């Protein structure tokens, strides 16, 4: 598999996440995620995706279900295991590298293996059917990571303008 697009998507996300203007964890009051929760979610999704890819290589019967990566308790646990946003970002970068390194080594047969996939977003069912492993991984590059990059951009705290 070619992971150039996925690596680029993560570079952009981490560039945005490094911005000083994303607010603090308690700044989100509309029920959405703060920057730390977004990063924790990505860690969970990437670990699940890497596990599915390794299961394919091992000859197991993989499945992917993103519900654990949406669970507030799990996100809080992941955040608590890190010493701050910079540590979360470092872990996201390292885990994205591991995922990409695994995907880079998948042959066409492995990439074509159908993985039963269950995806939810904002409480709505997005997908409940087998998809090729390559589609699961490429979906991170084309939709998932860019979508969370936009979420981070939307969290930017507006700089105060001149009075009056």
Question: Could you report the per-residue pLDDT of 38-68, keeping only the tens digit for each?
Answer: 999 999 999 999 999 999 999 999 999 999 9
Give the whole-angstrom CA distance, residue 104 versus residue 119.
24
Strand partners, 132: 114
Residue 64 contacts by C-beta under 8 Å, 6 or more apart in sequence?
48, 49, 52, 115, 116, 117, 118, 119, 136
CB 56 within 8 A of CB 131: no
Burial 126-146 (b: 16+ CB within 10 A, else e): ebeeebebbbbbbbbbeebbb
Q: Give the residue-averaged pLDDT of 64-91.
A: 96
In the chain, the domains with their CATH numbers are 4-155 (1.20.120.450)
Question: Could you report the per-residue pLDDT of 128-160, keeping only the tens digit for each?
Answer: 999 999 999 999 999 999 999 999 998 887 544
Give the whole-angstrom CA distance, residue 125 versus residue 26.
28
Q: Give the residue-averaged pLDDT of 8-23.
A: 92
Q: Which of 74, 12, 8 is nearest to 44 (CA)?
A: 74
Other CB atoms within a 10 A radius of the CB of residue 118 amount to 14
pTM of the model: 0.90
Residue 161, pLDDT score: 47
Q: Give the residue-averaged pLDDT of 24-40.
A: 75
Ordered strands of the 124-132 beta sheet: 64-65, 114-121, 124-132
């Amino acid at each position: 598999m070619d992971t150039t697009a996925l690596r680029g998507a993560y570079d952009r996300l981490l560039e945005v996440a490094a911005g000083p203007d994303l607010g603090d964890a308690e700044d989100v009051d509309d029920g959405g995620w703060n920057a730390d929760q977004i990063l924790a979610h990505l860690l969970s999704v990437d670990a699940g995706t890497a596990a599915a890819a390794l299961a394919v290589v091992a000859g197991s019967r993989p499945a992917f279900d993103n519900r654990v990566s949406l669970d507030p308790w799990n996100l809080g646990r992941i955040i608590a295991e890190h010493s701050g946003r910079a540590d979360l970002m470092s872990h996201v970068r390292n885990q994205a590298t591991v995922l990409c390194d695994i995907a880079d080594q998948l042959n066409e047969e492995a990439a074509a293996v159908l993985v039963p996939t269950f995806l939810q977003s904002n409480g709505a069912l997005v997908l409940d059917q087998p998809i090729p492993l390559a589609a699961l991984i490429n979906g991170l590059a084309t939709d998932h990571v860019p979508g969370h990059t936009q979420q981070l951009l939307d969290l930017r705290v507006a700089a105060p303008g001149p009075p009056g």
